[in-house]
Protein backbone atom coordinates (compact mmCIF):
# COMPACT_ATOMS: atom_id res chain seq x y z
CA UNK A 1 0.00 0.00 0.00
CA UNK A 2 2.80 2.36 0.97
CA UNK A 3 4.72 1.62 -2.22
CA UNK A 4 1.58 2.25 -4.29
CA UNK A 5 1.04 5.62 -2.61
CA UNK A 6 4.71 6.49 -3.04
CA UNK A 7 4.58 5.67 -6.74
CA UNK A 8 1.44 7.73 -7.15
CA UNK A 9 3.07 10.66 -5.40
CA UNK A 10 6.11 10.41 -7.67
CA UNK A 11 3.88 10.55 -10.71
CA UNK A 12 2.06 13.59 -9.34
CA UNK A 13 5.31 15.49 -8.90
CA UNK A 14 6.13 15.10 -12.59
CA UNK A 15 5.49 17.78 -15.13
CA UNK A 16 1.72 18.07 -15.32
CA UNK A 17 1.90 20.02 -18.54
CA UNK A 18 3.83 17.23 -20.28
CA UNK A 19 1.26 14.71 -19.10
CA UNK A 20 -1.71 16.61 -20.50
CA UNK A 21 -0.07 17.75 -23.74
CA UNK A 22 -1.29 14.64 -25.57
CA UNK A 23 -1.84 14.60 -29.31
CA UNK A 24 -5.57 15.12 -29.04
CA UNK A 25 -5.40 17.92 -26.48
CA UNK A 26 -2.83 19.83 -28.54
CA UNK A 27 -4.57 19.15 -31.87
CA UNK A 28 -7.92 20.26 -30.48
CA UNK A 29 -6.18 23.29 -29.04
CA UNK A 30 -4.88 24.21 -32.51
CA UNK A 31 -8.35 23.68 -33.98
CA UNK A 32 -9.84 25.96 -31.33
CA UNK A 33 -7.05 28.49 -31.84
CA UNK A 34 -7.91 28.96 -35.53
CA UNK A 35 -11.66 28.71 -34.87
CA UNK A 36 -11.41 31.39 -32.22
CA UNK A 37 -9.36 33.60 -34.53
CA UNK A 38 -12.28 33.23 -36.92
CA UNK A 39 -15.00 33.74 -34.30
CA UNK A 40 -13.33 36.63 -32.47
CA UNK A 41 -12.64 38.50 -35.69
CA UNK A 42 -16.41 38.65 -36.07
CA UNK A 43 -17.23 39.04 -32.37
CA UNK A 44 -14.78 41.94 -32.03
CA UNK A 45 -16.67 44.03 -34.59
CA UNK A 46 -20.19 42.57 -34.24
CA UNK A 47 -21.45 44.88 -31.45
CA UNK A 48 -20.30 47.96 -33.37
CA UNK A 49 -21.61 46.53 -36.65
CA UNK A 50 -25.06 45.83 -35.21
CA UNK A 51 -25.50 48.85 -32.91
CA UNK A 52 -23.55 51.54 -34.75
CA UNK A 53 -23.75 50.20 -38.30
CA UNK A 54 -27.25 48.67 -38.48
CA UNK A 55 -28.63 50.92 -35.68
CA UNK A 56 -30.16 48.15 -33.58
CA UNK A 57 -31.63 49.16 -30.24
CA UNK A 58 -30.14 47.71 -27.06
CA UNK A 59 -33.18 45.46 -26.65
CA UNK A 60 -32.73 44.14 -30.19
CA UNK A 61 -29.00 43.65 -29.64
CA UNK A 62 -29.75 41.83 -26.37
CA UNK A 63 -32.04 39.43 -28.23
CA UNK A 64 -29.37 38.75 -30.87
CA UNK A 65 -26.63 38.43 -28.25
CA UNK A 66 -28.76 35.95 -26.33
CA UNK A 67 -29.46 34.11 -29.56
CA UNK A 68 -25.70 33.98 -30.18
CA UNK A 69 -25.31 31.61 -27.24
CA UNK A 70 -28.85 30.57 -26.36
CA UNK A 71 -29.47 28.89 -29.71
CA UNK A 72 -26.83 26.34 -28.75
CA UNK A 73 -28.98 25.03 -25.91
CA UNK A 74 -30.81 22.26 -27.72
CA UNK A 75 -28.15 21.67 -30.36
CA UNK A 76 -25.77 20.75 -27.53
CA UNK A 77 -28.14 17.95 -26.59
CA UNK A 78 -28.33 16.82 -30.21
CA UNK A 79 -24.55 16.82 -30.55
CA UNK A 80 -24.17 14.98 -27.25
CA UNK A 81 -26.72 12.34 -28.18
CA UNK A 82 -25.27 11.70 -31.65
CA UNK A 83 -21.69 11.51 -30.37
CA UNK A 84 -22.59 8.99 -27.65
CA UNK A 85 -25.08 7.08 -29.79
CA UNK A 86 -22.65 6.38 -32.63
CA UNK A 87 -19.43 6.75 -30.58
CA UNK A 88 -18.16 9.20 -33.23
CA UNK A 89 -17.20 12.24 -31.20
CA UNK A 90 -14.70 13.49 -33.77
CA UNK A 91 -17.19 13.30 -36.65
CA UNK A 92 -19.91 15.13 -34.73
CA UNK A 93 -17.47 17.82 -33.61
CA UNK A 94 -16.21 18.17 -37.21
CA UNK A 95 -19.77 18.72 -38.46
CA UNK A 96 -20.21 21.47 -35.88
CA UNK A 97 -16.99 23.19 -36.88
CA UNK A 98 -17.96 22.92 -40.56
CA UNK A 99 -21.35 24.56 -39.95
CA UNK A 100 -19.68 27.51 -38.26
CA UNK A 101 -17.17 27.87 -41.09
CA UNK A 102 -19.96 27.99 -43.68
CA UNK A 103 -21.83 30.55 -41.57
CA UNK A 104 -18.82 32.89 -41.70
CA UNK A 105 -19.13 32.89 -45.49
CA UNK A 106 -22.86 33.59 -45.12
CA UNK A 107 -22.10 36.89 -43.36
CA UNK A 108 -20.89 38.23 -46.70
CA UNK A 109 -24.41 37.94 -48.14
CA UNK A 110 -26.55 39.37 -45.32
CA UNK A 111 -26.37 42.96 -46.55
CA UNK A 112 -27.93 45.42 -44.10
CA UNK A 113 -30.73 43.09 -42.98
CA UNK A 114 -30.62 42.37 -39.22
CA UNK A 115 -32.92 39.36 -39.72
CA UNK A 116 -30.43 37.79 -42.15
CA UNK A 117 -27.60 38.45 -39.70
CA UNK A 118 -29.68 36.72 -37.03
CA UNK A 119 -30.15 33.64 -39.25
CA UNK A 120 -26.42 33.41 -39.95
CA UNK A 121 -25.58 33.86 -36.27
CA UNK A 122 -28.06 31.11 -35.41
CA UNK A 123 -26.34 28.79 -37.92
CA UNK A 124 -22.91 29.62 -36.51
CA UNK A 125 -24.07 29.00 -32.94
CA UNK A 126 -25.81 25.78 -33.97
CA UNK A 127 -22.43 24.56 -35.13
CA UNK A 128 -20.86 25.63 -31.84
CA UNK A 129 -23.57 23.85 -29.89
CA UNK A 130 -23.07 20.62 -31.81
CA UNK A 131 -19.29 20.59 -31.46
CA UNK A 132 -18.67 21.79 -27.90
CA UNK A 133 -19.64 18.73 -25.86
CA UNK A 134 -17.99 16.17 -28.23
CA UNK A 135 -14.81 18.26 -28.22
CA UNK A 136 -14.75 18.48 -24.42
CA UNK A 137 -15.49 14.76 -24.17
CA UNK A 138 -12.52 14.03 -26.47
CA UNK A 139 -10.30 16.06 -24.13
CA UNK A 140 -11.69 14.36 -21.01
CA UNK A 141 -11.12 10.89 -22.48
CA UNK A 142 -7.56 11.72 -23.60
CA UNK A 143 -6.00 12.41 -20.17
CA UNK A 144 -6.03 11.05 -16.64
CA UNK A 145 -8.85 12.28 -14.41
CA UNK A 146 -6.45 13.95 -11.97
CA UNK A 147 -5.13 16.20 -14.78
CA UNK A 148 -8.46 17.38 -16.21
CA UNK A 149 -8.06 20.94 -14.94
CA UNK A 150 -4.64 21.31 -16.57
CA UNK A 151 -5.79 19.64 -19.78
CA UNK A 152 -8.77 21.95 -20.14
CA UNK A 153 -6.59 24.86 -19.06
CA UNK A 154 -4.08 24.09 -21.83
CA UNK A 155 -6.86 23.76 -24.40
CA UNK A 156 -8.54 26.97 -23.25
CA UNK A 157 -5.22 28.82 -23.25
CA UNK A 158 -4.67 27.90 -26.91
CA UNK A 159 -8.31 28.71 -27.61
CA UNK A 160 -7.91 32.08 -25.93
CA UNK A 161 -4.68 32.80 -27.79
CA UNK A 162 -6.81 32.55 -30.91
CA UNK A 163 -9.28 34.92 -29.26
CA UNK A 164 -6.33 37.26 -28.70
CA UNK A 165 -5.16 37.07 -32.32
CA UNK A 166 -8.66 37.37 -33.80
CA UNK A 167 -9.33 40.97 -32.71
CA UNK A 168 -5.79 41.93 -33.77
CA UNK A 169 -6.51 40.53 -37.23
CA UNK A 170 -9.85 42.34 -37.32
CA UNK A 171 -8.18 45.59 -36.28
CA UNK A 172 -5.59 45.22 -39.02
CA UNK A 173 -8.18 44.47 -41.69
CA UNK A 174 -10.34 47.42 -40.58
CA UNK A 175 -7.33 49.70 -40.90
CA UNK A 176 -6.22 48.35 -44.29
CA UNK A 177 -9.60 48.02 -45.99
CA UNK A 178 -10.36 50.83 -48.42
CA UNK A 179 -14.06 49.98 -48.59
CA UNK A 180 -16.40 47.30 -47.22
CA UNK A 181 -14.20 46.93 -44.13
CA UNK A 182 -16.64 44.57 -42.43
CA UNK A 183 -16.64 42.30 -45.50
CA UNK A 184 -12.83 42.12 -45.31
CA UNK A 185 -13.13 40.94 -41.72
CA UNK A 186 -15.73 38.35 -42.67
CA UNK A 187 -13.52 36.95 -45.48
CA UNK A 188 -10.54 36.68 -43.15
CA UNK A 189 -12.74 34.97 -40.59
CA UNK A 190 -13.88 32.34 -43.10
CA UNK A 191 -10.26 31.58 -44.07
CA UNK A 192 -9.19 31.03 -40.46
CA UNK A 193 -12.18 28.74 -39.89
CA UNK A 194 -11.19 26.65 -42.93
CA UNK A 195 -7.67 26.12 -41.52
CA UNK A 196 -9.10 24.93 -38.20
CA UNK A 197 -11.39 22.53 -40.05
CA UNK A 198 -8.42 21.07 -41.94
CA UNK A 199 -6.44 20.50 -38.71
CA UNK A 200 -9.50 18.81 -37.19
CA UNK A 201 -9.77 16.40 -40.12
CA UNK A 202 -6.07 15.49 -40.25
CA UNK A 203 -4.80 15.41 -36.66
CA UNK A 204 -7.62 14.79 -34.16
CA UNK A 205 -8.27 11.14 -33.30
CA UNK A 206 -11.61 9.78 -32.21
CA UNK A 207 -12.01 8.57 -28.63
CA UNK A 208 -15.15 6.43 -28.70
CA UNK A 209 -15.05 5.37 -25.05
CA UNK A 210 -16.64 2.15 -23.79
CA UNK A 211 -19.87 0.96 -25.39
CA UNK A 212 -22.76 0.11 -23.08
CA UNK A 213 -25.56 -1.77 -24.88
CA UNK A 214 -28.25 -0.45 -22.58
CA UNK A 215 -27.26 3.21 -23.01
CA UNK A 216 -26.01 3.47 -26.57
CA UNK A 217 -29.42 3.60 -28.26
CA UNK A 218 -30.97 6.56 -26.47
CA UNK A 219 -30.20 9.85 -24.79
CA UNK A 220 -31.06 8.95 -21.21
CA UNK A 221 -31.65 11.75 -18.72
CA UNK A 222 -32.23 9.55 -15.69
CA UNK A 223 -28.74 8.00 -15.39
CA UNK A 224 -27.19 11.43 -15.91
CA UNK A 225 -29.26 13.11 -13.22
CA UNK A 226 -29.41 10.10 -10.93
CA UNK A 227 -26.26 11.17 -9.10
CA UNK A 228 -26.81 14.11 -6.79
CA UNK A 229 -23.40 15.80 -7.37
CA UNK A 230 -23.97 16.04 -11.14
CA UNK A 231 -27.59 17.13 -10.66
CA UNK A 232 -26.43 19.93 -8.39
CA UNK A 233 -23.72 20.94 -10.84
CA UNK A 234 -26.30 21.27 -13.63
CA UNK A 235 -28.38 23.52 -11.36
CA UNK A 236 -25.32 25.62 -10.54
CA UNK A 237 -24.40 25.97 -14.22
CA UNK A 238 -27.88 27.34 -14.92
CA UNK A 239 -27.71 29.74 -11.97
CA UNK A 240 -24.31 31.01 -13.09
CA UNK A 241 -25.62 31.39 -16.64
CA UNK A 242 -28.15 33.89 -15.26
CA UNK A 243 -25.35 36.19 -14.11
CA UNK A 244 -23.47 36.20 -17.44
CA UNK A 245 -24.43 38.89 -19.95
CA UNK A 246 -21.76 38.46 -22.62
CA UNK A 247 -18.68 40.25 -23.93
CA UNK A 248 -20.52 42.54 -26.32
CA UNK A 249 -22.51 44.20 -23.55
CA UNK A 250 -19.45 44.69 -21.35
CA UNK A 251 -17.57 46.34 -24.21
CA UNK A 252 -20.58 48.44 -25.23
CA UNK A 253 -20.95 49.70 -21.65
CA UNK A 254 -17.29 50.74 -21.61
CA UNK A 255 -17.62 52.39 -25.04
CA UNK A 256 -20.76 54.24 -23.93
CA UNK A 257 -19.16 55.34 -20.67
CA UNK A 258 -15.84 56.58 -22.08
CA UNK A 259 -16.96 57.52 -25.62
CA UNK A 260 -14.58 55.01 -27.21
CA UNK A 261 -14.22 54.77 -31.01
CA UNK A 262 -15.22 51.69 -33.01
CA UNK A 263 -11.58 50.57 -33.21
CA UNK A 264 -11.55 50.16 -29.42
CA UNK A 265 -13.80 47.11 -29.56
CA UNK A 266 -11.04 44.80 -30.85
CA UNK A 267 -8.61 46.29 -28.31
CA UNK A 268 -10.93 45.45 -25.40
CA UNK A 269 -11.27 41.89 -26.66
CA UNK A 270 -7.49 41.64 -27.06
CA UNK A 271 -6.92 42.65 -23.43
CA UNK A 272 -9.47 40.14 -22.16
CA UNK A 273 -8.04 37.31 -24.24
CA UNK A 274 -4.44 38.09 -23.25
CA UNK A 275 -5.40 37.87 -19.58
CA UNK A 276 -7.17 34.59 -20.30
CA UNK A 277 -4.08 33.19 -22.07
CA UNK A 278 -1.78 34.09 -19.18
CA UNK A 279 -4.02 32.70 -16.43
CA UNK A 280 -5.74 29.66 -17.99
CA UNK A 281 -3.01 27.03 -17.41
CA UNK A 282 -1.94 28.24 -13.92
CA UNK A 283 -5.55 28.35 -12.74
CA UNK A 284 -6.24 24.93 -14.27
CA UNK A 285 -3.24 23.50 -12.41
CA UNK A 286 -4.31 25.24 -9.20
CA UNK A 287 -7.82 23.81 -9.60
CA UNK A 288 -6.39 20.28 -9.85
CA UNK A 289 -4.45 20.82 -6.63
CA UNK A 290 -6.79 22.75 -4.33
CA UNK A 291 -10.17 21.82 -5.77
CA UNK A 292 -12.04 22.96 -8.85
CA UNK A 293 -15.15 24.42 -7.24
CA UNK A 294 -13.31 27.20 -5.30
CA UNK A 295 -11.67 28.36 -8.54
CA UNK A 296 -15.05 28.51 -10.32
CA UNK A 297 -16.52 30.53 -7.45
CA UNK A 298 -13.52 32.89 -7.47
CA UNK A 299 -13.94 33.35 -11.22
CA UNK A 300 -17.54 34.45 -10.86
CA UNK A 301 -16.40 36.70 -8.04
CA UNK A 302 -14.25 38.47 -10.65
CA UNK A 303 -17.33 38.85 -12.85
CA UNK A 304 -19.19 40.40 -9.91
CA UNK A 305 -16.32 42.88 -9.63
CA UNK A 306 -16.76 43.78 -13.32
CA UNK A 307 -20.47 44.49 -12.81
CA UNK A 308 -19.81 46.59 -9.71
CA UNK A 309 -17.29 48.76 -11.53
CA UNK A 310 -19.62 49.19 -14.53
CA UNK A 311 -22.58 50.05 -12.28
CA UNK A 312 -20.58 52.86 -10.65
CA UNK A 313 -20.05 54.49 -14.04
CA UNK A 314 -16.36 54.97 -13.41
CA UNK A 315 -13.21 52.95 -12.85
CA UNK A 316 -10.15 52.01 -14.93
CA UNK A 317 -10.84 50.10 -18.14
CA UNK A 318 -7.69 48.04 -17.56
CA UNK A 319 -9.09 46.70 -14.28
CA UNK A 320 -12.36 45.70 -15.97
CA UNK A 321 -10.47 43.89 -18.73
CA UNK A 322 -8.19 42.09 -16.24
CA UNK A 323 -11.09 40.95 -14.07
CA UNK A 324 -13.06 39.85 -17.13
CA UNK A 325 -10.16 37.80 -18.48
CA UNK A 326 -9.59 36.25 -15.04
CA UNK A 327 -13.29 35.30 -14.92
CA UNK A 328 -12.98 33.36 -18.16
CA UNK A 329 -9.67 31.73 -17.17
CA UNK A 330 -11.15 30.49 -13.88
CA UNK A 331 -14.41 29.13 -15.28
CA UNK A 332 -14.34 28.28 -18.98
CA UNK A 333 -12.18 25.16 -18.66
CA UNK A 334 -12.52 24.44 -14.94
CA UNK A 335 -16.30 23.96 -15.02
CA UNK A 336 -16.20 21.06 -17.56
CA UNK A 337 -13.21 19.64 -15.67
CA UNK A 338 -15.39 19.71 -12.55
CA UNK A 339 -18.22 17.95 -14.38
CA UNK A 340 -16.31 15.27 -16.30
CA UNK A 341 -15.51 12.93 -13.36
CA UNK A 342 -19.20 12.93 -12.38
CA UNK A 343 -20.32 11.50 -15.74
CA UNK A 344 -19.98 7.85 -16.91
CA UNK A 345 -17.60 7.50 -19.86
CA UNK A 346 -20.29 6.11 -22.19
CA UNK A 347 -22.44 9.21 -21.56
CA UNK A 348 -19.59 11.73 -21.27
CA UNK A 349 -20.69 13.87 -24.22
CA UNK A 350 -24.38 13.79 -23.32
CA UNK A 351 -23.64 14.75 -19.73
CA UNK A 352 -21.48 17.73 -20.67
CA UNK A 353 -24.12 18.78 -23.21
CA UNK A 354 -26.87 18.60 -20.60
CA UNK A 355 -24.94 20.82 -18.21
CA UNK A 356 -24.08 23.32 -20.96
CA UNK A 357 -27.70 23.41 -22.16
CA UNK A 358 -28.98 24.80 -18.88
CA UNK A 359 -26.19 27.34 -18.89
CA UNK A 360 -26.99 28.45 -22.46
CA UNK A 361 -30.73 28.83 -21.79
CA UNK A 362 -30.00 30.94 -18.72
CA UNK A 363 -27.53 33.06 -20.69
CA UNK A 364 -30.19 33.75 -23.32
CA UNK A 365 -32.58 35.02 -20.64
CA UNK A 366 -29.93 37.19 -18.97
CA UNK A 367 -28.89 38.85 -22.24
CA UNK A 368 -32.47 39.69 -23.23
CA UNK A 369 -33.23 41.10 -19.77
CA UNK A 370 -30.01 43.13 -19.69
CA UNK A 371 -30.74 44.64 -23.12
CA UNK A 372 -34.31 45.56 -22.14
CA UNK A 373 -33.17 47.14 -18.85
CA UNK A 374 -30.49 49.16 -20.64
CA UNK A 375 -32.92 50.48 -23.25
CA UNK A 376 -35.82 51.33 -20.96
CA UNK A 377 -34.24 52.02 -17.56
CA UNK A 378 -30.63 52.90 -18.23
CA UNK A 379 -27.20 51.32 -18.53
CA UNK A 380 -26.17 51.82 -14.89
CA UNK A 381 -29.40 50.29 -13.61
CA UNK A 382 -28.85 47.30 -15.92
CA UNK A 383 -25.30 46.85 -14.59
CA UNK A 384 -26.48 47.23 -10.99
CA UNK A 385 -29.17 44.60 -11.57
CA UNK A 386 -26.51 42.24 -12.94
CA UNK A 387 -24.30 42.90 -9.90
CA UNK A 388 -27.16 42.28 -7.44
CA UNK A 389 -28.13 39.06 -9.25
CA UNK A 390 -24.52 37.84 -9.09
CA UNK A 391 -24.21 38.80 -5.41
CA UNK A 392 -27.32 36.76 -4.58
CA UNK A 393 -26.69 33.70 -6.75
CA UNK A 394 -22.95 33.34 -6.21
CA UNK A 395 -23.16 32.31 -2.50
CA UNK A 396 -25.99 29.91 -3.36
CA UNK A 397 -23.87 28.40 -6.11
CA UNK A 398 -20.87 28.10 -3.77
CA UNK A 399 -22.95 26.15 -1.25
CA UNK A 400 -24.23 23.82 -3.96
CA UNK A 401 -20.78 23.27 -5.47
CA UNK A 402 -19.08 22.45 -2.20
CA UNK A 403 -19.05 18.66 -1.66
CA UNK A 404 -20.77 17.48 1.49
CA UNK A 405 -19.03 15.19 3.98
CA UNK A 406 -20.49 11.99 2.59
CA UNK A 407 -19.15 12.82 -0.90
CA UNK A 408 -15.73 13.72 0.47
CA UNK A 409 -15.62 10.46 2.41
CA UNK A 410 -16.60 8.54 -0.75
What does the domain layout of the chain look like in residue ranges? 21-206+223-409
What percent of the chain shows pLDDT beyond 90?
30
pLDDT band of residue 20 (cuts 50, 70, 90) is low
Cα distances (Å, whole numbers) of residue 69 to 65, 133, 173, 248: 7, 14, 26, 12
Q: Which residues contact 26 (CB under 8 A, 6 or more apart)?
A: 154, 158
Q: Is the pLDDT of residue 126 over 50?
A: yes
**10 Å Cβ neighbour count for 240?**
25
Taking alpha carbons only, the member of 136, 151, 336, 131 closest to residue 233 is 336
pLDDT of residue 10: 36
Taking alpha carbons only, the member of 68, 8, 62, 41 closest to residue 174 is 41
Alpha-carbon 288 to chain mean position? 20
User: What is the CB-side half-sphere exposure of residue 186 using CA atoms within 13 A?
Assistant: 20
Q: What is the DSSP letter of 402?
A: S
More confident residue, 366 or 70: 366
Give the whole-angstrom CA distance, residue 147 versus residue 204: 20
More confident residue, 403 or 356: 356
Q: pTM of the entire structure?
A: 0.74
Q: What is the DSSP letter of 382?
A: H
CATH architecture assignment, domain 21-206+223-409: Up-down Bundle (1.20)
DSSP for 43-84? HHHHHIIIIIIS---HHHHHHHHHHHHHTHHHHHHHHHHHHH
Q: Is the pLDDT of residue 3 over 70?
A: no
Give the whole-angstrom CA distance, residue 187 versus residue 183: 6
Give the model confidence (pLDDT) of 236-276 as tens digits: 999 999 999 888 889 889 988 888 876 677 788 888 988 98
Give the whole-angstrom CA distance, residue 28 versus residue 142: 11
Structural contact between residues 266 and 274, judged by C-beta atoms closer than 8 angstroms: no
Amino acid sequence: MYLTDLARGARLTGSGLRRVATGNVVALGVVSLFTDISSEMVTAVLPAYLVLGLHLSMAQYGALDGLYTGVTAFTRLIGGYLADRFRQRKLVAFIGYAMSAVAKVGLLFTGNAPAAVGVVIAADRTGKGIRTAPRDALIALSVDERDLGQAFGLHRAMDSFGAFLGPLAALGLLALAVSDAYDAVFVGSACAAAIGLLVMALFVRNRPGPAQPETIHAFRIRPLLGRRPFRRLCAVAALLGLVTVGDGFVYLVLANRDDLPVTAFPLLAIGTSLTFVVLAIPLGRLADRVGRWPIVVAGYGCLLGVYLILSLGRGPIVLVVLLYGAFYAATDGVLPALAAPLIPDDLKTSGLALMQTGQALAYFASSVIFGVLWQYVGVQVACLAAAITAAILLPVSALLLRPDRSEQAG
